[in-house]
A and B are shown apart, each in its own frame.
Chain A
Amino acid sequence: MAHDHKLEIFRGLVKFKSNTQKIWGVLVFLTIITAIEVAFGIIKPRALTHSHFLGMKLLNWIFIVLTLVKAYYIAWDFMHLRDEKSSLRRAIVWTPIFLICYLIFILLFEADYVYNVYKDGFITWDF
């Protein structure tokens, strides 16, 4: 229950002595990730902006993955999902993930289609 905390992060690689210590540890980790994101955003390494994966720049994929990592640690340690029952955790996490993935899929596909209509179709929008 609420009073006993799981004190391991990174699948048991790091184990903290107390809950307070774990919180500070997670803060350090989140700060490092944010710093990496900002550094990448300012430097914009050529190797990453000119290679693409699934139609998007590799750099943007890195940003998205790092964001999901951050979101995981905020939800698991700050919102203490780690300490909740797995049934509650699954109900809360997988429902939105499923719906959001679906929404992203349909809207971005549609947007790309509209982009191509603007580009190749007989529609002038820059006049």
Chain B
Amino acid sequence: MDATVTTGTEESVWGGGNKPLGASYGKMMMWFFIVSDALTFSGFLVSYGFSRFKFIDVWPIADEVFTHVPFFHGNYPMYYVAFMTFILIMSSVTMVLAVDAGHKMKQSKVVIYMFLTIIGGAIFVGSQAWEWATFIKGDYGAVETKGGRILQFVDAETGERAALADFAKTLPEERVKHVSSEGIWFQGEGYKTSYSLNEVVEGFKATPNILIRTEYVNEEGEKTVLDRKGSLEKIMEATQVVEGANLVHNEYGHRLFADFFFFITGFHGFHVFSGVVINIIIFFNVILGTYERRGHYEMVEKVGLYWHFVDLVWVFVFTFFYLV
């Protein structure tokens, strides 16, 4: 007795020996991986959104943070990230061209396009490393209050940001970096700032045209700048000097901003890096003629899917980290 009701379609479409979705096993699995990876990235980006909405009135303004372009001095918000985005889209294009050449079984063309894709990926990873280095090194410097708020400095006349070096006094004091061997507990400090808190505070008192900029965003969408009297009161709350950013302190503003920056762009950068490695492996396989012998270039298509996915994720990271 046959208990299952079989309809004609099941026999012909889902009955086996067929590809109901028109995709090979490998390609399907690549798509399933991409879907699950997309959900991982969405988890990260949405938790970034969570923290941002939680501290919506003090969140750093991205184009005041990422203002540098290699080999150029000055304030160029966004240009470099836009360049990076373009590089990644461009390498996506060479990847599709490689897949297209693969369909036509043109081995030499696949080699050229795969090579260009790898170069594009390498430029992107390099740019990201540079972005990280700039972010970690810091820009103007700031002080942190007991509550973990960041106080930055601006020039009262020009309204431009003021660096610590512009006004901090050099006092005849010895500032020794704390190392773990001299502590009560084995705890050292990560880095030594170029000015001590005392030097910054004294310098601030002695320079009347420097004002404090708090983390709070005002109606105009800009950070609130205190007047001189308020600034002098506020500076007394400072507990330490912060230069650059790490996972605990962040001179650009809220520390969660730095944490998410490192985490999300780091995770994405790791994807790009592994994508480049996989691309290189496939590149050599193409040169060796593996796919020529196999009769099809589906491997190039699969790795291409991964590569485009990395590009797709960057489009979202770009928007939510740098634009919005």
Contacts and interface: CB of A to CB of B under 8 A. Distances in A.
B38 interface: yes
B12 interface: no
Interface string B23-61: 100001001001100110011001101111111110000
Interface string A20-61: 100110010011001101101110100001000000000010
A71 B313 CA distance: 9
A16 interface: no
A107 B48 CA distance: 10
A2 interface: yes
B239 to A, nearest CB: 11
Residue from A27, A38, A67, A99 having most chain B Cβ neighbours under 10 A: A38
B147 A127 contact: yes
Contact of B301 (A2, A35, A42, A49): A2
Nearest to A63: B323
A107 B316 contact: no
Binding site of B, secondary structure by majority: helix, strand, loop or mixed? Answer: helix
A12 interface: no
Interface string A96-110: 100110011001101
A27 B90 contact: yes
B305 to A, nearest CB: 6
Given A34-B82, A63-B319, A67-B319, A88 B49 contact: no
A99 B36 CA distance: 11
A67 B316 contact: yes
A26 to B, nearest CB: 8
B83 to A, nearest CB: 10
A96 B56 CA distance: 27
Contacts, number: 140
Contacts of A30: 89
Binding site of A, secondary structure by majority: helix, strand, loop or mixed? Answer: helix
B315 A74 contact: yes
A99 to B, nearest CB: 6
Contacts of B79: 38
B22 A27 contact: no
Interface in B85-131: 85-86, 89-90, 92-93, 95-97, 99-100, 103
A70 interface: yes
Contact of A70 (B57, B301, B315): B315
B284 to A, nearest CB: 23
B42 A27 contact: no
Contacts of B52: 111
A94 to B, nearest CB: 11
B175 to A, nearest CB: 26
Contact of B39 (A44, A99, A108, A112): A99
Contacts of B145: 126-127
Contacts of B43: 103
B213 interface: no
A111 B305 contact: no
Given A31-B89, A38-B79, A71-B316, A63 B54 contact: no
Interface string A55-84: 000001001101100110011011110001
A34 B131 CA distance: 19
5 contacts: A60-B323, A64-B319, A78-B93, A111-B49, A111-B50
Interface of B: 20-23, 28, 31, 34-35, 38-39, 42-43, 46-47, 49-57, 63, 77-79, 82, 85-86, 89-90, 92-93, 95-97, 99-100, 103, 145-147, 149, 221, 301, 304-305, 308-309, 311-312, 315-316, 318-319, 322-324
Given A19-B100, A31-B86, 12 more contacts: A30-B89, A78-B92, A78-B93, A80-B99, A88-B31, A95-B35, A103-B43, A107-B49, A108-B46, A108-B49, A108-B50, A127-B145
